[in-house]
Amino acid sequence: MNVWNIFAPVYERSMKSQQQIYEYIYSHTAQTVENKDVLELATGPGMIAKNIAYAAHSIVATDFAEKMILTAKKGDYPQNVTFEVADATQLQYADKSFDVVIIASALHIMPNPEKALQEIVRVLKDDGTLIAPNFIFNGRKNFWQHFLSFVGVKFAHEWTAKEYSDFLQQNGWKIVKSEIVKGRIDLIYVECKTL
């Protein structure tokens, strides 16, 4: 968690070179969360929550790193967004509380992402949707992956698109939408339902 507290003040600026990926996430996610109660895990500085709030009924945006949440709360943000510190593997929310859960580009940095997926199943309403875009890797690391490793960002999993899809399916999810989005590090955008 320390590395994310350190990066909190500069995270959003550092993602500017991935703008096309974020624009894709904002537009596609907004369609799915329309008028829904949403939980976002690993929100970072709240970029996704702030950009899709216009479409959602409500968003609880959480992160494990307290400084990320402090950064997210700076400035103006939509009234239907609440920022909270939370551990994705031990959520404090009641069963079946949310229509949609978003966890973007975070499962690959978790040592035990299965625990987060179990908690998501618990807090998701019946027929709810998991939106889980994630960075993917294709063998050799590129410059940005080496740079992130150098500055302390560790990847617990370096899944290819197929490996990530298989991981979700092995953990009880049916992928209903999937698309690869090219970027500095490629991303696979996925929407899932429980099996």
Question: By C-alpha distance, which of 38, 24, 164 is closest to 101?
Answer: 38
pLDDT digits (tens, 9 = 90+) for 96-142: 999 999 999 999 989 999 999 999 999 999 999 999 999 998 766 55
Average pLDDT over residues 47-55: 97
pLDDT digits (tens, 9 = 90+) for 56-65: 999 999 999 9
pLDDT digits (tens, 9 = 90+) for 1-25: 455 444 444 444 555 556 788 899 9
Spatial distance between the Cα atoms of 22 and 52, rounded to a whole number of angstroms: 11
Average pLDDT over residues 140-145: 54
Res. 90: pLDDT tops 90: yes
User: How confident is the model at residue 17, as a pLDDT?
Assistant: 56
User: How confident is the model at residue 16, as a pLDDT?
Assistant: 54
Look over the chain and give the mean of its residue pLDDT values, rounded to a whole number. Answer: 87
Res. 191: pLDDT tops 60: yes
User: How confident is the model at residue 6, as a pLDDT?
Assistant: 46
Give the three-state DSSP class for 146: helix
User: How confident is the model at residue 43, as a pLDDT?
Assistant: 95
What's the Cα-to-Cα distance from 115 to each of 90, 140, 183, 192, rounded to whole Å? 8, 28, 28, 17
- pTM for the whole thing? 0.87
Percent of the chain whose predicted confidence (pLDDT) is above 90:
71
What's the Cα-to-Cα distance from 50 to each of 25, 38, 44, 60, 73, rounded to whole Å? 12, 12, 11, 11, 10
The model's confidence at residue 176, banded by pLDDT at 50, 70 and 90, is very high
